[in-house]
Amino acid sequence: MSLPKNDFITYTLQLPVSKKEIRFRPFLVKEQRNLMVAMESDDDETIERNIKQVLTNCTLTDIDIDKLPMADVEFYFINLRARSVNEIVENLYQCKNQNLPEEKLKATDSEGNKICGGIMKVEFNLLEVKVDINENIKDIIKLTDTLSMKLRSPDFAVVQRASKYTNDTDKAFDMIVDCIEYIAEGEEIHYAKEHTPKELMEFIETLNQNQFEKVEEFFMNLPKVSKKLTMQCGKCGLDHAIEVEGLENFFG
Ligand SMILES: [Zn+2]
């Protein structure tokens, strides 16, 4: 006789950037184990490959995870983790207060400064994590009076490709090239897909400092998952406000 079938509950979620609605099931024990092994490896490529695998397995809607904006992928993963394991997470933070009498500075930070060192335990609900979208950031970057460039937010595929670089500058340049939609010269539009990555890279390398800063500003203001936490140090009484960002910082 065959074993009974184990049905699972499904959930729906609207992704905040792409506005797509997805239906998903929680991840299974074996999927969770693979994820934990990946997270412990501390290797971006391994972590992203496993996240993609789990998201693909759990998604019941026909959707290409690689084409979702990175903030949607992070938001989805946090919600999936909340529904699969526990929506409440408990993180520990260390008080970095330096303005205390010498005898109360019990610890040392990574730069060698004497700090309070009090440990603060904070619980928060993963389902309350939001995506910050900066509406003031323009995706068309004006380079000169006649030259402009349209950028798009990096999708998950772009982020996965970029994580193979160990050098931050190489990573940044590669990501910019991947995210160019077109370059406009007066009325004439040069679409990125009609040019080779090498040609696009050569164009990026001709930007001056001021132009490059405008491009960087776009990438620094991409939508991102964040959660504001407030806490008080039990040792010195200092109030803290911490903004949690980046997937790895949400889970202890
Ligand atoms: Zn303290």
DSSP secondary structure of 146-198: SEEEEE---BHHHHHHHTT-SSHHHHHHHHHHHHEEEEEETTEEEEGGGS-HH
Reported as type and span, the H/E element at residue 210 is helix 209-220
Residue 222 near residue 132, CB atoms below 8 Å: no
- Give me the residues near ligand 1 (ion), CB cutoff below 5 Å: 95, 97, 116, 118, 233, 235-236, 238
Give the Å distance between the CA of 119 and the centre of ligand 1.
8
Residue 57 near residue 31, CB atoms below 8 Å: yes
- pLDDT at residue 39, as a whole number: 85
Give the Å distance between the CA of 101 and the centre of ligand 1.
12
Give the Å distance between the CA of 95 and the centre of ligand 1.
5
- pLDDT at residue 43, as a whole number: 85
- pLDDT at residue 248, as a whole number: 81
Coil vs helix vs strand at 132: strand
Give the Å distance between the CA of 217 and the centre of ligand 1.
34
- pLDDT at residue 217, as a whole number: 93
Give the Å distance between the CA of 229 and the centre of ligand 1.
16
Give the Å distance between the CA of 33 and the centre of ligand 1.
36
- pLDDT at residue 7, as a whole number: 77
Give the Å distance between the CA of 107 and the centre of ligand 1.
10
In the DSSP assignment, the letter for residue 127 is G
- pLDDT at residue 105, as a whole number: 93
How much is the pTM?
A: 0.86
List C-alpha distances in Å: 76 to 11, 13, 61, 246: 11, 8, 13, 13
Report the C-alpha gap between 33 and 83 in whole angstroms: 16
Mean pLDDT by 10 residues, the chain (252 residues): 81 96 94 88 88 95 95 96 93 94 92 95 94 90 95 92 83 91 96 96 94 93 93 95 88 69
Residue 122 near residue 95, CB atoms below 8 Å: no
Give the Å distance between the CA of 131 and the centre of ligand 1.
30
Give the Å distance between the CA of 87 and the centre of ligand 1.
28
Give the Å distance between the CA of 237 and the centre of ligand 1.
6
